[in-house]
Chains A and B, each alone.
Chain A
Amino acid sequence: MGYQKKRLITKIVLTVVMAVISIIMLLPFAWMLSASFKPDNQIFNFPIEWIPKDFTWANYDRVWNSDVPFSRFFANSLKVTLLSVTGEVLTSALAAYAFAKIKFKGREIIFLIYLSTLAFPGQMMLIPRYVLFKAFGIYNTHLALILPGMFTAFGTFMLRQFFMSIPDELCESAKIDGAGHFTIFSKIVVPLAIPAFSALIIFQFVGSWNDYEAPLVYIRSKELATIPLGLNFFRDENSASYGAIMAASVCSLIPIFAVFLAFQKQFVAGIATSGLKE
């Protein structure tokens, strides 16, 4: 057998093996989707009926018409995520520019402080922030979710790293032409850093959208719940109906799947940077 032919056969075999593995990876989702369209008494039929025998929308009806409907959780998630990600990109872009391109007194020290707190796990903040938010009067409001998300060290580092790779000569020559830092920032650095921005945005979007710990601790009212917390509320109240719980899970996953499919490339870039860079 020729070398090329052997190689082709290997490739075909491996593709089949990988296809089988990836289908197994997706089975929990398939089961969820199928259960969400079944009446409760047919969900656990065995052998598993992947295509529902008595197809029903009743479960979804329950999700969208409960006392606090899913559309509310959806709107809350959208608001919290958009505001915190926008805020983060803005504040960390400015700070990253200062760290990367402006020499000023105290810069190294501040940078060192930022760097040293990077090692603290986010969960260490849960208790003290809870105490502070009560004192600030923002406990059980969306601000308790939005504000901390606006000032992450991660965003600052990721953008700083990228800004550093933009040659100083570019900024210097603009300076000679009379441009100030704000002009250099907005006209030169930001346009060159679009890939870094989109990676950061999509990566933080997914993180913020899926965040469960912060809402669990800072949000009491069901009307203010974001999707992960709302899903958990819904589950507790509908523990008798697995079909409804699965329909709610499907609804909670669809938006993020859609965003992911649309921005897969940027998301992958975001993860790769988060893992490989400082």
Chain B
Amino acid sequence: MTMMGYKCMQQGGSVLYRLTGATGRRLVAAVPLVWLLVFFLLPLLETLQVSFTTAQRSVPPYAPLWGFDETGFFTNFTLDNYALLAAYWQDYIGPAGNSIKLAFFSTLVCLLFAYPMAWWIARSTAKWRVVLLVMVMLPFWTSSLLRIYALIGLLNPNGFINSLLIWLGLIDAPLRMMQTDFSIYMGMVLTYLPLMILPLYAVMVRLDDDVIEVATDLGASSVAVWWTVILPLTLPGVIAGSLLVFIPAVGEFVIPALLGGPDQLMMGKVLWTEFFRNRDWPVAAAIAMLLLAILTVPIIYARYQDGREDHASDPQAGTP
């Protein structure tokens, strides 16, 4: 619709059409904006506010940040929650490191598997593409918890894989796969792989075959074609997929809890402890805000730099 509107305007469409076109476009843009405002920004501001108050035994279990009573305006504003995190930073830095490490390597492994898979799907015939994409998305239709339990059934000492290997005579004693790094990464990659494949597929399927053909005709080796042509063109998909996997993976709670051993304390569990065991919603909120800042500021900065470079290298950018 917008594409059509755009073309009409190019041909000098009526003023009326131009007006409704602009309103229509604004309306279309307004829906997701309102959605983000109500379900993302407001809860975020609420969390930020809670991070500056104190916990107490009441409903809700924290003091109001500000309000009015018989003496007039009052506030419970405090930086104590952040001070507590600073004072006991050793207790938080380890789990934060564990979570970032887990998220980083999960993203990397997902990328290594997803890149060739997405390429293969994008290069299949249109009919096969649909089938393959449905197969990628199919696991999303079952609860991720159920899939994790299925994985436990496979990896257990008395599970399917060990039973099979023992029956085949390949091993004598069951392999220890559960509660190891291996089981955690299996769970992470299985859960997050589709989030990496889909954005990669989206860029790869739009990749113009002619560009590859031209590069090959001009004598580039297949490695050179990939490095100088395909990789730069698919980079937006790599970045989008990596962000989609990395960000939720940092806060992952269920997979390390069910598949991991005692030594893998992650940030998700630390938040859980603050929230449920210490019943300290303000400290939990402070951790969430800090994590958010640590993770998003570099990402926003990188995107901002990216945007500026695009502008600098492409003088046409921004003009129709």
A and B: partners? Answer: no
Interface, chain B (partner A; CB < 8 A):
none
